Amino acid sequence: MSMDISEYQDIILSLRKLKPDPIVLATRNEGKVRELQQLLLGTDFKITSMASFPGVPEVVEDGDTFEANAIKKAQVVAATMGRTTLADDSGLVVDYLSGAPGVHSARFAGPGHDDTANNQKLLQLLSGVPQEKRTARFCCVVAIATPDGKVATTRGTCEGIIIEKLKGKNGFGYDPLFLIPRYGKTFAELDSATKNTISHRGQALQKARVILAAAADKGNS
C-alpha cells in the first residue's frame, strides 16, 4: 500500500538496530492472535504471542482512547521482555450511544462477561432504534514499541450498521451484529480474506507492515 513513512523514521531506525527476535503480539485473545498472524503472513518477521509467556502480567487497559491503551500495552511488554512488541486496541463506536462501547468494548457487559453478554447488552440498548440511527464503526490502533522506548501507531476504521440479531459464525466479539452495507453481510459472515482486507484491524496492521518492511529492507541492504 502507498504510505508516507517519513514520520516513522525514529521507530524504523530503532527496529534496524535490534536483533531478529520474534515480534511479540501483546495479547492472549486467540481471536486477535489468529487475525494478526494471518495479516502478517508473507513478511520476514517471526511472530509469537503472550500465550507463550505466561509469566508476563496482563497490562491494565485504563486509557481513555484506543491510542493510549495500545501504546501502554506495547511499551510495557517491550520493556518487560526486551523485545519489539506489537499491540492493538480496538472497539466498536456506536453513534446512537454517543460512542459507546468504545474503549470498554471488551468489558461492555461488566467484568467476567463474554461476547454473548456484550452483544445482548448492545441489542438491548438499541432496541426499537431504527436502522438509520444504528450507524457504527470499528476502530483499531496498532502500536509498535521497541525496548529502547520508541513507539509508533497506525489507525484503521470500518463503517457499518448494527443489525437486530446475530448473523454468521466467523469472527468474534461484535462481528455477528456489524453489517457492512456494501457487502450485505456481517463481519461474521465474511470469509477471512475479505474481512482482513476491509477491517479496521486489517487497515491498521497493513500500515504497520509498511513500517516493519521499511526497517527490514534497509537492514538487508
- State the residue for C-alpha cell 497506525: 154
Contact 82, 92 (CB under 8 A): no
CB 73 within 8 A of CB 51: no
Provide the strand spans (E) within 21-111: 23-25, 47-49, 85-94
- Contact between 211 and 152 (Cβ < 8 Å): yes
Q: Cell numbers for 201, please give them.
A: 484491524
Please check whether residue 66 is in contact with residue 139, taking contact to mean a CB–CB distance below 8 angstroms.
yes
Task: Kindly give, in sequence order, each residue whose CB lies less than 8 Å from that of residue 176, ignoring residues fewer than 6 positions away.
Answer: 119, 166, 167, 168, 169, 186, 187, 188
The CA dihedral of 120, 158, 152, 78, to the nearest 10 degrees, is: 30
Nearest in space to 158 (alpha carbons), one of 135, 176, 142? 135
Cα separation, 134 vs 73, in Å, equals 31
Which of 88, 89, 175, 217 is catalytic? The answer is: 89
Whether 89 sits among the annotated catalytic residues: the reply is yes
Q: Point out the residues that are catalytic.
A: 89
